[in-house]
Structure 1
Amino acid sequence: MANSASGMAVHDDCKLKFQELKAKRNFRFIVFKIDEKIQQVTVEKLGEPAETYDDFTNSLPPNECRYAVFDFDFVTDENCQKSKIFFISWSPDGSRIRSKMLYASSKDRFRRELDGIQVELQATDPSEMSFDIIKARAF
């Protein structure tokens, strides 16, 4: 289960909650945290379906790294209702170097565990994942 490069395991709950977001749309977003004590990626926060993109960005800590997925609903130019699942690697400038390295080295393996991601973003400050950027990347 553990990744030899980072030693990071992925808690089963991460995959289960992601499947619920993808298949049942029970959540708008999920924020994941690496628990350094147990060397495992865990679910930190589940966003209710009615929550907005602002609720999502406000749930990311300003000086700590996180992984997150966001289910973005939009309407195409042809007036079709669509949805895309974004994977966001949040690594703010103010976070600890050790934390940034841990999240960077564990990201690819963790992302592969979540089957169904359509767009990937990396952000070091909120402007790099603004709603306009999300919207532009969805199309």
Structure 2
Amino acid sequence: MAMAFKMAVTGMWVTEECKNSFMEMKWKKVHRYIVFKIDEATRKLTVDKVGGAAASYHDLAAALPEDDCRYALFDFDFVTVDNCKKSKIFFIAWAPSASRVRAKMLYATSKDGLRRALDGIHYEVQATDPTEMGFDVIKDRVNK
């Protein structure tokens, strides 16, 4: 099996580590969140940070840099109105205002390829500041 999945649009590579971390989140529930980073020199997408099963959404928000772009996944557990436990995976495209224009463009053009490589994402949130990805935004999405 190939060591990486190439994103057709930008030539960006999604490492096996990224896909394996996602599968561990999706099926084994060992990660609450995963933060991905593009290494511009090698053109590879790598795992920047992970949060264990006990981590919170606040922990994810705190793990994102104030001045650089990232992709993040968050596994949101909730209970439906008919008392069923559910879980939905959120994809967050983080592009703060203080990040470089080049980084914003690179992350924007690579996003769809990553989403295709990681099958099973339920919702997407794009944020340029913390209020655009607040916990209330996440809760509102699953309640619609």
Both structures adopt the same fold (TM-score exceeding 0.5): yes
Residue 78 of structure 1 corresponds to: 82
In the alignment, structure 1 residue 29 sits paired with structure 2 residue 36: no
- Answer whether contact 2:7 2:114 (CA < 8 A) is retained: no
Work out whether 1:131 is the aligned partner of 2:131.
Answer: no
Shift of the 127–114 alpha-carbon distance from structure 1 to 2, 3 Å rule, reads same
Query: What's the secondary structure of 1:95's corresponding residue?
Result: coil
Q: Matched residues in 2 for 1:126 and 1:138: separation?
A: 19
Residue 28 of structure 1: SS of its match in structure 2? strand
Which residue is 1:69 aligned to?
A: 73
Unaligned runs of 5+ in 1: none
Q: Which residue of 2 aligns with 1:39?
A: 43
C-alpha distance in 1 between matches for 2:127 and 2:72: 11
Amino acid at match of 1:84: K
TM-score (norm 1): 0.97
- Name stretches of at least 5 consecutive residues in structure 2 with no aligned partner: none
TM-score for both structures, normalised by structure 2: 0.93
Query: Aligned residues, how many?
Result: 139
Deviations 1:92-119 (A, max 9, x none): 1110000000000100001110010001
Indicate the percent of aligned positions where both proteins have the same amino acid: 56
Aligned residue identity for 2:89: I
Return the offset for 1:4: 4.5
Supply the AA of the counterpart residue of 1:55. Answer: D
- Counterpart for residue 102 of structure 2: 98
The match for 2:116 among 104, 112, 115 is 112
Moved over 6 A (4+): none
* SS of the residue 1:99 aligns to: helix
